Amino acid sequence: MNKVFFTSDTHFNHTNIIKYTNRPFKDVNEMNRVLIEKWNAKVSPRDTVYFLGDFAMGPIHRWKDFYKVLKGEKILIRGSHDRNAKFMKEDVGFTEIHEKLEVDLGEHGIWLLQHEPMKTSQKLLHGHVHQHWRRLGEWMINVSVDVWDFQPVTIEEMLKVTIDSMEYKCVCGETLKHLEDNRRHYGCK
């Protein structure tokens, strides 16, 4: 049976993301290799992966190389570091490109997919915040590789995790409430 996976924020070839998010890799080559290995160990060629933004950085001619070695049909929800839709489809290879998308996950209901988190009454899967949280409330889940062992995940896997606190300690030292006027803190290091 074909599976549906979700992920975001791989940032292939982005050296500084290792430092920014405390990724456990000695260098960008190790990070790229591990991300590809973990993806391909879990996803089959027949599976679908919804990629919720921030695929790669660095030389754009390499983006297609990363894309080609990853298994599954890949649908992009564009992130803050992705190029325009035409480039991501024609030059990289994504089969579909969206700014946001609603998907019906059967018994789990209809979910909104977009790169950045937001307050909403809809069930929401997002990326962008990397390691800040996994799950806020019942229906807001961060799919970033930084909180899912650097691999795509299914909705079933995500719904099994404990709901995180609505507050977190920013690296700048402040205690912040998630999604309450704290966008400036997402990137502070």
CB 115 within 8 A of CB 79: yes
Determine the Cα–Cα distance for residues 179 and 34; give it in Å rounded to an integer. Answer: 31
Q: How many residues are present in the chain?
A: 189
CB 145 within 8 A of CB 5: no
Determine the Cα–Cα distance for residues 151 and 144; give it in Å rounded to an integer. Answer: 9
Query: How far is CA 128 from each of CA 74, 106, 121, 149, 157, rounded to the nearest angstrom?
Result: 18, 25, 19, 16, 19
Per-residue pLDDT tens digits for 121-162: 899 999 998 887 888 877 889 999 999 999 999 999 999 987
Per-residue pLDDT tens digits for 9-59: 999 999 999 999 999 999 999 999 999 999 999 999 999 999 999 999 988
Kindly indicate the confidence band of residue 178, based on its pLDDT and cuts at 50, 70 and 90.
low
| Per-residue confidence (pLDDT) for residue 153, from 0 to 100 | 98
| Per-residue confidence (pLDDT) for residue 183, from 0 to 100 | 47
Per-residue pLDDT tens digits for 33-45: 999 999 999 999 9
| Per-residue confidence (pLDDT) for residue 25, from 0 to 100 | 97
Backbone angles phi, psi at 172, to 5 degrees: -80, -5
Helix (H, G, I), strand (E, B) or coil at 159: helix
User: What is the CATH superfamily name and number for domain 4-164?
Assistant: Metallo-dependent phosphatases (3.60.21.10)
β partners of residue 92: none
| Percent of all residues in the chain with a pLDDT value above 90, rounded to a whole number | 71
Name, in order, each residue with C-beta under 8 angstroms of 172's C-beta and a sequence gap of 6 or more. 185, 188
β partners of residue 126: 142
| Per-residue confidence (pLDDT) for residue 139, from 0 to 100 | 86
Determine the Cα–Cα distance for residues 19 and 115; give it in Å rounded to an integer. Answer: 21
| Per-residue confidence (pLDDT) for residue 162, from 0 to 100 | 79
* Greater pLDDT, 8 or 180: 8
Helix (H, G, I), strand (E, B) or coil at 157: helix
Q: Judge whether residue 2 has pLDDT over 60.
A: yes
Extents of the domains making up the chain? 4-164
| Percent of all residues in the chain with a pLDDT value above 70, rounded to a whole number | 86
Mean pLDDT rounded to a whole number for the chain? 88
The enclosing H or E element of 37 equals helix 28-42
